[in-house]
Amino acid sequence: MPIKDRRKTHKMQSICFHFCLFCVPTAAVCRRAGEALVIEEIEVAPPKAWEIRIKVLCTSLCHTDVTFWKLNAGPASAFPRIFGHEAVGVVESVGDNVEEVKQGDRVLPVFLPDCGECRDCKSTKSNCCTKFPFTHYNGMPRDGSSRFKDSNGLDMHHFLFVSSFAEYTVVDIANVVKISSDIPVDKACLLSCGVTTGVGAAWKVAEVEQGSTVAIFGLGAVGLAVAEGARLRGASKIIGVDLNPDKYGIGKQFGVTDFINPTNCSEKSVIEVIREMTDGGADYCFECIGLASLMKDAIDSSRPGWGKTVILGVEMHGWPLSISSTEILRGKTVTGSFFGGVKAKSDIPFFVKKYLHNELNLEGFVTHEISFQDINKAFDLLLQGKSIRCIIWMDK
């Protein structure tokens, strides 16, 4: 679908073809760390070879966006920037060498590349693409360059290879998944990061089996998605651990059977409570917050002999994780999980089918919907702990 050039200096609405013109949509731009986003006109370059330009239909806000939004130092901190990495859109135009999708296709941009060519992408053991490692934090994956310019012609920084807080964005073909148009766009949007990470961790990393016991530390979007994945795998007991008492009622929608609020554990530790509830320790534990202390609690709460702990949270303070060698010698295992072990191009269409067959609960994750112009409200809701996922509609 060609798009219209809306430059103020060009009063006539001219057709913008991908091979010759830049397009001028709007984006929610962050100029400085922690500052409110500002809706601005930007210039979006045409796609180069192996790239596509996407018209974003809707996007959502993830905790990772907020983490980097606050970040004011280090190589991953760069401003001005266009955040956003959970979205769904339609292919507007394609660059050379793109055969996987065509103009008009419904697609999901994802932050983790899936090139299909490197050793890791071809292996069933990993989803960490080695052809496109996270070398370029702030630009396109192949060369680190930008496809965005502000109204003054200055380059703007990308975010996680997606930058979906814009009406149009440019994404490498390795970061794009073609999906069925049968799934509602607001539900499809959820599968581009958080929900896929949690469900994938239960399915692909832990491989939760029928009748097993599960403990989840943190019932945010990822933790709830872990519960949903464990439910679908037939876990008999799914224990949610969270400081917010409202999360128990929410968690029940996704299969949480038991709930522990650490502030109410006055006589016993959370570890002791979980061990009692699971006859010695949970078969699978998931840490979804990003605190080394909770990672240790999760490991200590797992069952000796075969207990498996999956670390999903990024340690928010950069602290190391200390594990007792005795716990490991007793047969426990600890593993990390990036994007839930999911290979985007093959696994996300599978999750779409699960939803279309009424097996995967996606509706429960959407707590708010707002217009693109009100995008800062999404930040307020998440920071106040009021939303799980807020859908941001580009055309409302």
Res. 74: pLDDT tops 90: no
pTM of the model: 0.91
Domain count, the chain: 2
Q: Which of 197, 214, 213, 216 is nearest to 205 (CA)?
A: 197
User: With 50 as the cut, is the pLDDT of residue 318 above it?
Assistant: yes
Instruction: Give tens-digit pLDDT for 112-135.
Output: 999 999 999 999 999 999 999 877
The verdict on 53 and 91 lying in the same domain is: yes
- Is it true that the peptide bond before 80 is cis, omega within 30 degrees of 0? yes
pLDDT in tens, 58-70: 999 999 999 999 9
Q: Band of the pLDDT at 75, cuts 50, 70, 90? A: confident
| C-alpha dihedral (134, 138, 143, 145), degrees to nearest 10 | 170
Query: Could you tell me if 207 and 62 lie in one domain?
Result: no
Give the domain extent around 132.
Answer: 26-190+362-393
Asked whether residue 220 falls in the same domain as residue 283, the answer is yes
Residue 332 sits in the same domain as residue 367: no
Q: Is the pLDDT of residue 11 over 70?
A: no
d(CA 382, CA 30): 17
Work out the mean pLDDT of the chain and round it to a whole number.
92
* pLDDT > 70: percent of the chain: 94
Same domain, 181 and 287: no
pLDDT bin (cut points 50, 70, 90) of residue 237 is very high
**Token pair for 37:** 């986003």
pLDDT band at 136 (very low <50, low <70, confident <90, very high): confident
**Nearest CA-CA partner of 388 in 257, 230, 227, 166:** 227
Find the CATH number of the domain harbouring 210.
3.40.50.720
Residues 300 and 374 in one domain: no
Rounded to whole angstroms, the Cα distance separating 328 from 323 reads 8
User: CA nearest 285: which of 223, 232, 328?
Assistant: 223
- pLDDT band at residue 21, thresholds of 50, 70 and 90? low
Within this chain, do residues 185 and 204 fall inside the same structural domain, yes or no?
A: no
Helix, strand counts (H, E) of the chain: 11, 20
Evaluate the omega torsion of the peptide bond into residue 141 and state whether it is cis, within 30 degrees of 0: no
Handedness of CA 178, 52, 167, 110 (dihedral sign): positive
> Is 134 a member of any domain?
yes
Comparison of pLDDT for 23 and 264, the residue scoring more: 264
Do 248 and 291 share a structural domain? yes
Mean pLDDT of 367-385: 97
